[in-house]
Amino acid sequence: MTTLKDLLKQPWGQAHATPLTGLDTALANLLNSKQPSDDPRHLWLAALTSHQWGRGHACLDLATLQTQAAALLGWNDEQTSTLPADLHQAANTLPWTQGDASPLVLTEDTQGARLYLRRAWTAEQNIRQNIAQRLALPCDVPADLQQRLDALFTPTNNGEPDMQRLACEVAAQNRITLITGGPGTGKTTTVVKLLSLLVGTSSRDLQIHLAAPTGKAAARLTESISNALTQMPADVQARIPTQAQTLHRLLQTNSKATQLHQLATDVVVVDEASMIDLEMMARLLQAVPPTARLILLGDKDQLASVEAGAVMSQLCTGSLLQHQTVTLVHSHRFDAKSGIGQWARTVNADVADNTPALKALWNAAPDWLATLPLQQTIEGDAAEPDVTRLQLTSASDPKLAVGLRYGWRNWLALLDAHRPSKTTQTAPCSDAQAAALLKAFTEFCVLCAVREGPLGVVQLNAHVELALGLGQSAWYAGRPVMVTRNDYALELMNGDIGLCLPGPDGVLRVAFPAVDGGVRWVMPSRLDSVETVFAMTVHKSQGSEFTHVLLVIPALESPVLTRELVYTGLTRARQRLTVWAPQLGVLWNGCARRVLRSGGLGD
């Protein structure tokens, strides 16, 4: 029996170097062993469908495979040349798409044909059906809705529509609403006003749940809701919760879960919805009763989920929820003069070529290291640039160490008392001190596009440890760590960040932020899946914000460097942004590269 491994061999016996993984070829060969096919193109189609799923696509887009195979698959010309001719046409004769339980599913609509793994197709169908069910159900709308909105929103003086008010109006009349917008556009403020509207028109206390995909995003949502509620009347504050949780905790999904329970809830608000993958969105919609309101907040222009799917982006741009989607456009954080806002708008601009505008912004930004003495003397001055640039060629350049020590200067000052030295003993760290250290650590962050390479996360973490005079042992006072795998026993989620510090008894432990604003102490020996996190990938930073971000662009071209990644990285900065680009052409090319994931939710 012919296998895909055989098909990948040239006549002289050397295997083609394609990006197909062992899992991709194993799936194709397994299907062929169960139901043999005499058309070699069928094995290719099965392997490519698996390949696209692994790359974050919900399906294999057969129309694009025919016309732009290299762009679709992310392959070079040599790799693409290994594909058989008329590959897309073989989908109609696939033996593995027949029947209700077939492993592959072939669909066709006005946008063309798509080939799915059944799990992906099932998730997409469940999302469609659940949304359709919610849209079909009548929704109780207060008769005095406009008057209540008038009380919540003051009229705008510029004659432009108040998009926050419109978002509340839409959400009050629908069981599912998408509210999208960039940083500082008031998504959380809008939701708090919406919740006050809903609790004010309800004759009973509403069951309200707040959630986000990661622990960091949940903590940020908790803080944002709490701050926004201070502007509301006391009786409203008492009826709206402030504590957000991760989606995993909300849905009670873990390795032992066999059945998804349905929530007892009236309103569910989920922040950072762009991070929700296809299967998680299907589970969320299944868990939230159709009679409840579901409000999804996010930025459709950010990076899509790490797992397969681009649900938020496709729903925001498709027809399925076009009347239930509101885009907030006015940023209250980055005004017209804000350098960060200008970079965000320029990177995201839907134009044929935004390189000239990006070059102008780059040239207008001062060199970061040259501004450091100025910052030390007039800290917080209005004239201080919010965007600076860096063009060092190597992370080992001693000039970089100066900048890193300055970026974490407040954190290092607090940490100093808890580090051993020749003259002083290590001082124990109280809960309050640990919380202050955790907060100070987020004043600065190094964000990378890639993990490996000279300017990747792994090497930069080593350079930062050296620059800060840390890292003499595996566990040391001040070591920041990120959890890389969900640990339900410790109630730590993938992406949670903690600091290794001498605890109240002087013993080294890792302090993680607690839900009540305090800290939780965990012994290092109990942490099996953590990594040092002075530097992290932009993907890992989603759901977080930092006072000052050093965004590191690799010196070599990388397919992961895209417009969405650059936009997501620079908008993690609240006040200051430094762009480090050793080779400017790599930055321009990255901003011109888009992430376009295949899927059917955008129809």
* Structural domains of the chain sorted by starting position, each given as residue range(s) with its CATH number in brackets: 4-116 (1.10.10.1020), 137-328 (3.40.50.300), 339-372+385-471+534-592 (3.40.50.300)
pTM for this one?
A: 0.85
- Tell whether residue 190 is among the known ligand binding residues: no
Q: How far apart are the C-alpha atoms of 564 and 275, rounded to whole Å? A: 13
Q: How many CB atoms lie within 10 A of CB 2?
A: 13
Q: What is the pLDDT of residue 424?
A: 59
Confidence of residue 481 (pLDDT cuts 50, 70, 90): very high
pLDDT band at 461 (very low <50, low <70, confident <90, very high): very high
pLDDT of residue 261 exceeding 90: no
Buried b (16+ CB within 10 A) or exposed e, 223-254: ebbbebbeebeeebeebbbbebbbbbbbbebe
pLDDT of residue 378: 42
Is 495 flagged in the annotation as binding?
no
Residue 181 labeled ligand binder: yes
Contacts of 162 (CB under 8 A, 6+ apart): 153, 155, 156
Per-residue pLDDT at 95: 94
| Percent with pLDDT over 70 in the chain | 92
Work out the pLDDT band at 15, boundaries 50, 70, 90: very low
Is residue 314 pLDDT above 60, yes or no? yes
Q: What is the pLDDT of residue 579?
A: 94
Report which residue type is found at 206.
L
| Span 436-464, average pLDDT | 91
Distances (CA, A) of 179 to 215, 222, 405: 21, 18, 39
Question: Over the stretch 558-584, which tens digit does the pLDDT of each residue have?
Answer: 888 888 999 999 999 988 999 999 999
Per-residue exposure over 420-440, b if at least 16 CB sit within 10 Å of its own CB, e if not: eeeeeeeeebebebbbbbbeb
Candidate ranges 260-264, 308-312, 433-437; pick with highest mean pLDDT = 433-437
Q: 107 labelled as ligand-binding?
A: no
Average pLDDT taken over every residue of the chain: 86
Q: Is 351 exposed, middle or buried (0-12, 13-18, 19+ CB in 10 A)?
A: exposed
pLDDT confidence of 140, banded at 50, 70, 90?
A: confident
Residue 353's CB is within 10 A of a number of other CB atoms, namely 11
Q: Is 187 marked as binding a ligand?
A: yes
d(CA 415, CA 433) in angstroms, rounded, equals 9
**Ligand-binding site membership of 184 (annotated):** yes
Residue 67 assigned ligand-binding role: no
Question: So what's the pLDDT on residue 373?
Answer: 66
Lowest mean pLDDT among 120-129, 317-326, 375-384, 535-544: 375-384
